[in-house]
Structure 1
């Protein structure tokens, strides 16, 4: 797993916020721009995964030497931060509708974002890229939650909870599609190959709650549908909890 925030902090911040770098004005103009490098890196990771997105392969895809990339970005660690923040900037964060409408739209868009960029699930952002994409998202969520009547501390905690849940659930949804694409095997076929587990290994007496849920129809859906249901149920429960807390405050 890649971890954001691992590059040179000053260089990363300069690149995230596109702080201009002094140039002598001599020599040929650069063959590629930082924007083209980030876009090409994202396209390569979208297609082949983040592990395959090496500086050498990226340079080849742009038709330049590897050293050319290093005149724009120090290394892969900084580039990953730029790619993550660039992806976040794809979200439409127009403040329209009720606080709940806004957060539900954010959740839907984040799900679509992970679907377009499945490599996002392979980047830990516990130490996040402090770029415009992150700040726009956080400001959007805090502004939406300010309409609830929660205290400042509660709004901050609620925003963190939403980000943790939505990103995790969206990544799980994307993983189902990604796993089928790279393996060539559907979830249905994967489970069919493991039917022996239920026939020979599963002990109903040892796991009675699973057995009861099974017989009551709790597992009557495929894995992708189950993940989608879990996302909808979890988001609704989280928003209901926020609404209940705000109501108690009143």
Structure 2
């Protein structure tokens, strides 16, 4: 992320400049970002090029560069705008009464975000854009961990653990959407096509636990149902572990 994108990320908190001379800008940064997101949502992240965004807005490509310096900067702006679209409550907004409910709200909205904008799963979150969308998320999860009663020295560790777990599951959901779009095939259909694998190649002797789990019905339901159950179970364990550490 370049320093030049920071004023664009934080544009809504920048005091209005003095009246400018000359013609008024035809576009706003918000319009540029919204166009990029719309293209990525429909056609994928690679399709959201500067040329295609410019064409959608009815301007020349070089004109678009006067609003956003580069495509990398545009992607940063798109990512942070989508992160902010979850509308997580801020410190002065009404909050769910229990810290666990706060985390469930964060998890639900994050997973919904990746389903609505699956291209996010193709963007690295290791070095995120330092914008209001990202910081609102961090403040929200940190505040929930503080409310849980953790020592301040442990609040960030717990918040990071929850963020990693929720984001990993959400990114997988985004990948599932992209795969379905690309292949026209659901995960369940993909596995059904490979039913003969179990008869021709699966070695019961080498996979005894897997076999016992199968015979006990532990692999019941479709892939989406299993993933949903696994996520709920994992999040419940994490929250119980945090509560237990406080007690």
Corresponding residue number in structure 1 for 2:92:
none
Q: Structure 1: which 5+ runs fail to align?
A: none
Task: Summarize the Cα distance change of 1:72–1:20 in structure 2 as closer, same or farther, 3 Å threshold.
Answer: farther
Secondary structure of the structure 2 residue equivalent to 1:242: helix
User: Does structure 1 residue 43 correspond to structure 2 residue 44?
Assistant: no
Which one has more relative contact order, counting CA pairs under 8 Å at least 6 apart?
1
Q: Give 1:174's aligned residue.
A: 174
- 2:58 maps to 63
Q: Is the 8 A contact 1:38 1:83 kept in 2?
A: yes
Q: Distance in 1 between matches of 2:229 and 2:32?
A: 37
Aligned counterpart in structure 2 of residue 15 of structure 1, from 8, 14, 38: 8
Runs of 4+ in structure 1 over 3 Å off? 19-27
2:200 and 2:16 map into 1 onto residues whose CA distance is 65
Shift of 1:130: 1.0
Describe the SS at the equivalent of 2:45: coil
**Cα offsets for 1:145-177 (capped at 9, x unmatched):** 111221112110011111111111012123323
Deviates more, 1:142-151 or 1:37-46: 142-151
Which residue of the partner structure matches residue 193 of structure 2?
193
> Offset at 1:213?
1.1
Structure 1 residues 151-210: Cα deviation after superposition (integer angstroms, max 9, x where no partner): 112110011111111111012123323322331112222112111211111111111111
User: 1:173 touches 1:228 (CA, 8 Å); kept in 2?
Assistant: no
Matched, 1:123 2:123: yes
CA offset digits 1:69-109 (Å, max 9, x no partner): 11011111111111111111112322221111111111111
8 Å Cα contact 1:172-1:227 kept in structure 2:
no
1:164 aligns with 2:164: yes
SS for the counterpart of 2:147 is: coil
Distance in 2 between the 1:103 and 1:230 partners? Answer: 17
Asked if structure 2 preserves the Cα contact closer than 8 Å seen for 1:173 and 1:227, the reply is no
Residue by residue, what CA displacement relative to the aligned partner does 1:17-68 show, whole Å, maximum 9, x if unpaired? 1147979934432221110010010111111111111111111111111111
1:204 is aligned to 204
Give RMSD over aligned pairs. 1.8
Aligned to 2:99: 99
SS of 2:108's equivalent?
helix
* Matched residue count: 240
The TM-score, its normalising length taken from structure 1, stands at 0.90
Corresponding residue number in structure 2 for 1:154? 154
